[in-house]
Amino acid sequence: MSYTCRSSLFSFTSLIRISSLSPYRQCLVHGSQPMQRQSRLVGLERRLNPFSIAELLHMLGSYLDLVSLITCLRVSRHWYSILLPCLWVDLTLYDSDYYKQPSFAVARSHSSLIQRLTIQGQVNVSFRQFLICDNLTRLFIRCRRQKDNRTYDDLIQRHQRTLTDLTSSQPTTTKHLSTLYGCEKLRELILLKVHLVGPGQWRTVYEKLWSRLQVLVLNGSWLHPYSEESMALLPSEVAACLKSWGTLEIRCQIQNLTLVGGDFEAVMLGQLWLIVQCSELVRLRWTPLKVFEYERGSMHRLVEAIRSGHRWRQLECLYLPQHFLQSDFEVLLESVNQLTELDLHSSNFDLCS
């Protein structure tokens, strides 16, 4: 086996040296006609040169930075045709003239190659209203102005058929979430600002969207900060409403759940209700903004759900940066058998309980 590898390496090295010679000198080396030997060398080069394999060349191009990729595009027409999708597969648009970016006409002519699109700020309205990418799978929207949500909703609606991952930093309400109901392939959703009115909207969004996701990240308060209806909710009313629902019949597919924010007890009750629905959780990160007392913290609420009969048998990673009781900690470890990673960063615990 070692002899074969050395022989192949020697042949490939010889091929590189011989192919750099002129046809006449190749004739002197091999003792045959120049044109005949050249055609044989071309066939041998295609069999031995790894860069002649389109799949391998495309894979190597996907790891290159932008400058190196542009350099490789200028090597030959063969390399250009193979590596061009690597240049357009991930497109980032900015609202500043400091960054060089393609015009709308150029982006539209290569729109079929775009698979990941990132929008930073208020880019040209033509991109948001008219750009259609047939193979777009990931969309990242980073914008703080809520008045432009409509144009981004139209952008999402045009790509409902192919979209699988979505990240948005815009304030998100039920109206904006309704545009995602038609994204049947959506599996990962990251929302950095979620503004809902109350438990009724929580259940609607869960049944139509959240339950069929695999990765869900919700950041910010679930209650709309400018809605009198949401701010007037009492924890007792929310608890009674959630208890009346019980465990919903819709099977939840969420495996990775992150809940950050929520400085009201009513919001924590809603977050706990969502966690209870996710019986197939593998990773859970629950980080309320407000530090509650030991008997009202996130770990104590999880233990109460465990004592009520709820189990997360596949849970492997748990992140709970809240105060907790030693008794609750022991119950949690006994009930979650598959736990391999536990993060209690910035937590205090009471040994006297």
Q: Write the pLDDT tens digit of every residue in 127-148.
A: 666 778 889 999 998 876 555 5
The token pair that represents 54 in the structure block = 């389109």
Output the pLDDT for position 19: 39
Question: pLDDT tens, 167-216?
Answer: 988 888 888 888 999 999 999 999 988 887 778 888 889 999 999 999 99
pLDDT score recorded for residue 231? 58
Query: Do residues 168 and 192 lie in contact, with contact meaning Cβ atoms separated by under 8 Å?
Result: yes
- Per-residue confidence (pLDDT) for residue 298, from 0 to 100: 80
pLDDT category of residue 42 using cuts at 50, 70 and 90: low
Q: How large is the average pLDDT for residues 104-115?
A: 86
| CA–CA separation, 40 and 43 (whole Å) | 5
Residue range 226-235: mean pLDDT, rounded: 62
pTM, full prediction: 0.76
Low-confidence winner among 81-85, 111-115, 230-234, 316-320 (lowest mean pLDDT): 230-234
Alpha-carbon span 348 to 332, nearest angstrom = 16
- pLDDT higher than threshold 80 for residue 25: no
Please list the residues that pair with 119 across neighbouring strands.
93, 141
What's the pLDDT tens digit per position in 1-20?
333 333 333 333 343 343 34
AA letter at 236: S
Confidence of residue 351 (pLDDT cuts 50, 70, 90): very low
pLDDT band of 221, cuts 50, 70, 90? low
Q: How far apart are CA 293 and CA 180, in angstroms?
A: 37
d(CA 188, CA 166): 6
- Choose among 237, 227, 353: nearest CA to 300: 353
Higher pLDDT, 103 or 68: 68
Query: Is residue 281 predicted with pLDDT exceeding 90?
Result: yes
Beta bridge partners of 218: 191, 259
Q: Quick check: 100 pLDDT over 50? A: yes
| Amino acid present at 260 | V
Would you say residue 258 has pLDDT above 90? yes
Task: Provide the 3-class DSSP secondary structure of residue 186.
Answer: coil
Provide mean pLDDT across the span 46-60: 71
Average pLDDT over residues 235-245: 77
Domain ranges of the chain: 7-48
